[in-house]
Amino acid sequence: MNAFSPRRLAVLTALACAATAHAKEPATVLDALVVTGTRTATTVRDNPASVSIVERETIENNGSGSIAELLRDVPGVSVVDSAVAGIQRIRIRGEQSNRVVILVDGQELTDHSSFGSPLLVDPANIERIEVVRGPASVLYGAKAIGGVINIITRTGAAAPLATEVGATLDSGTRGWRGWTALSGTQGRLDWRVSASADEHGDRRVAKGSYSADGRLDNSSYANQDVSAHLGLKLDEAGRHYVALKANHHSLRADGWQDPFALVTLRNVDINPTIAGRQARIDIAEAAISQFNANLPQRDLSKLGLHYEGKELGPVLRKVSADAFVQRVDREFGNLIRIRGRGGRVHIPGPGAGMTIPLNTSDIVMDSASTDRTDTWGASVQLDWRLHPDHYTVLGGQWLRDDLQTTKLNNITVVGANPLPPLPQYQPPFGVRSTAYDRATMQTASAFVQDEWTLARDWKLTGGLRYYRVSSSLDETTSSAHQAGERSRHGRFVKALGLTWTGLAHSTVRAGYSEGYVMPSLLEQFTDSRAGRGIVLHGNPELAPERSKNYELGLRYQNQGVVFDGTLFASRAKDYITFESCAIGGRCSGGDIYVNADSARSYGLELLTEYLVPGTSLTPYVSATWMRRQITVDDFSTYQTDVPRLAGRLGLRYEDTIANANTWLDVFVQGATAVDKRERDIEKSGKVSRHLAGWGTLNLAVGTSFGPQDRYRVALHLNNLLDKGYRAGVDELPGLGRNAVLTFSAKFQ
């Protein structure tokens, strides 16, 4: 046996820690203050919403360059990357990423693709992450059916000048990451500048169905990030504070060829131009033999200004306001190769035109899109103490998104049999087309929330928000749309939460909340071939998606025991999906976005831990049990890529050894099997995509030492048993056995 095997290393480390143990005080998990749940500083314990928090210490100990990985173990949260490495997104309670609001310092990251906003922030620049699970549209805008992720970035250090450096080595991707920052405070002024970069090769996976050689082709990615913060206290007491923040993040990522994408479709229509005429290729059966996507550019640039005034008086307690401008530049490429069997080419002309039968055909579709989204936003919030038993928040928000998109499509027939002996119809033939669209969305909203102390142990929190959303297609080269197309929507959404603290060390809570998601500009106004090779038409008549959510929760913390459990149920309708143009007659050829889906979800989220008396050992569990049903017309299924049970079970050790703060974490991550059925995929003959249940054994150990914990070292040994697995249909195969080594240092 190898003397330095992962299993032996774990045992030796645990024994060494136990031999020198000195028990620490219990962690105050539920006493942490969180702002996102109510837009006011409230402890997790007393919050009426389902909230979780990832503190700075957890971020530093984790060593991951991925924010999504930091959130993976939050109950109700799962990760999506859609086969493109390095561009992970978050799902909450089964809701897709485009139904989750991503905030950075309370300011929204917008994304008008159908995928949702990726998490493009350097983890080394994050102070903490706050998560609201469940609809939060009353407080955080018209995308929060699933929930809210609020990423709060760091400000200036307390010392006049502080320097930070750090590096990570990752064996799973043969990758590296490095970061550095300078920060400080001089009088009323605080500041911080930081920079980071990483580069990762193709990921290592267990040998098996996804890779014969243990490397996942086309799964590399790289990031660069530069950020700056400048804050100023306007008075000696610090009651008035303004801050200017700037950030630029760039990402490039390759796209892995997912075997699930290699399906056989039936009755496919393709509409190229042949010999200068608009033609139609009907294919009876089309087998997708190649499917590659890549993201050569995904850049985010942002400039934000924030003001906060606090302790202003006995009635007006606080004022906060912010304004920001951001730009997202995105390039996306999609290459699809199809082997067609049976069909015809119809070329219009004088009379009936010409119809050419096809027995077999090889068709290559090379699509690319270049998108630019400019966003301007502003908000204001006033906190009032109008009555001793009431704390009232009034606010407003304005957002404007300006989307410009250029789509290139190459459709080429490279082989066909038989064809008539006419030179212009001999392969290869096809078309290169370009489409340009510019569209705008403006959202104006106002909200009010009141926290009412009903009695000594009872609090009722109610909120109401009104939205007014206007979208318009300003320019287009599409023959299917016309400049000037518009849509307007207005709606009230509500939320109500009740907490009771009559039991010692406990909070019982119940809540009702509504979600509201506007269709994106791409879903309303643009046509695309990306994905399955079939034209997908935008629909300006789309209605907003809506949901209702009900919760019942219990939180308890005392004598080393922490418990946070939530029962939830939600119903959603008017989900945006797509259907064949032949069904509704709304378009000619291909598919079109429509409001047809509905969803029903229910489950239990659980976080519990226990500090064993007289020791430094804490067993813990973080888990989610959930069921989710999707219904589209007469098609209904519980096979929605959501495991019945997922979570993390572990044993954590924390103590001081030789004047160094040392920690050890041995844990198992896993989930039960998942299946995914989709109405359009069933046309291909593949009824369900199945993934087996999985579980990985992991070990993490780290220490911080030196003056003021100047140095920090952490080693993560992941998937020790080299388990081959895939956590979800919309996620890359998991890394095989790998090690991540992180080092950081602070000087001041």
Question: Mind listing the pLDDT tens digit for each residue in 493-550?
Answer: 999 999 999 999 999 999 999 888 888 888 888 777 545 556 778 888 888 888 999 9
- Of 197, 198, 195, 196, the closest CA to residue 173 belongs to 198
State pLDDT tens for residues 225-234: 999 999 999 9
CA distances from 337 to 283, 347, 367 (A): 14, 22, 11
Residue 436 is inside which H or E element, if any? strand 429-455
pLDDT for the residue 137: 74
Least confident of 87-96, 152-161, 287-296: 287-296
Evaluated on CA atoms 35, 40, 44, 49, the torsion sign reads negative
Q: Looking at residues 481-489, what average pLDDT do you find?
A: 87
Those residues whose C-beta lies under 8 Å from the C-beta of residue 120, and which sit 6 or more positions away, are: 109, 223, 225, 249, 251, 298, 300
Nearest alpha carbon to residue 284 among 263, 267, 262: 267
Residue type, 219: S
Tell which wins on pLDDT, 645 or 431: 645
- pLDDT confidence of 428, banded at 50, 70, 90? low
Rounded Cα–Cα distance for residues 407 and 370 (Å): 6
- Quote the pLDDT of residue 22: 36
Residue 163, classified by CB atoms within 10 Å of its CB into exposed (0-12), middle (13-18) or buried (19+), is middle
- Residue 744 phi, psi dihedral angles, 5° rounding: -145, 155
Report the pLDDT value the prediction gives residue 661, as an integer from 0 to 100. 92
Chain centre to alpha carbon of residue 601: 19
Does 25 have pLDDT greater than 60?
no
Q: What is the pLDDT of residue 141?
A: 66
- Residues 654-682: tens digit of each pLDDT: 999 888 999 999 999 999 999 988 776 66
> CA–CA separation, 738 vs 748, rounded Å?
34
Could you write out the DSSP letters of every residue in 624-685?
Answer: EEEEEEEEETTEEES-BS--SEEEEEEEEEEEEETTEEEEEEEEEEEE--EEE--TTGGGGT
Q: Which of 138-152, 339-353, 439-453 has the highest mean pLDDT?
A: 439-453
Higher pLDDT pick, 343 / 504: 504
Look at residue 60 and tell me whether its pLDDT is greater than 80: yes
Segment 99-147, tens digit of pLDDT: 888 888 888 887 777 677 788 888 889 998 988 888 877 777 667 788 8
Q: What is the pLDDT of residues 458-480, one digit of tens each?
A: 999 999 999 899 999 999 887 77
Task: Give the C-alpha distances (Å, rounded to integers) separating 103 from 31, 119, 131, 295, 523.
Answer: 23, 10, 10, 23, 22
pLDDT band at 642 (very low <50, low <70, confident <90, very high): very high
d(Cα 181, Cα 746) in Å, to the nearest integer?
Answer: 9
Task: Indicate the range of 111-120, 304-313, 451-460, 693-702 predicted with least confidence.
Answer: 111-120
Q: How confident is the model at residue 210 (pLDDT cuts 50, 70, 90)?
A: confident
- Bridge partners, 260 (sequence order): none
Mean pLDDT of all residues belonging to the chain: 84
Q: How far apart are CA 320 and CA 182, in angstroms?
A: 27
pLDDT in tens, 262-296: 777 776 666 655 555 556 677 777 788 888 888 88
> What pLDDT does 271 receive?
61
Whether 155 has a pLDDT exceeding 70, the answer reads yes
More confident residue, 600 or 8: 600
Q: CA-CA distance, 321 to 381, in Å (whole number)? A: 6
Report pLDDT for 440: 94
Q: 479 or 441: whose pLDDT is higher?
A: 441
Q: What is the mean pLDDT of residues 61-67?
A: 76
pLDDT digits (tens, 9 = 90+) for 714-736: 999 999 999 999 998 888 899 99
Where does the pLDDT of residue 431 fall: very low under 50, low under 70, confident under 90, or very high at 90 and above? Answer: low
Any idea which residue has 């082997």 for tokens?
339
Q: How far apart are CA 319 and CA 323, in angstroms?
A: 14
What pLDDT is stored for residue 17 in this prediction?
Answer: 37
pLDDT at site 302: 94
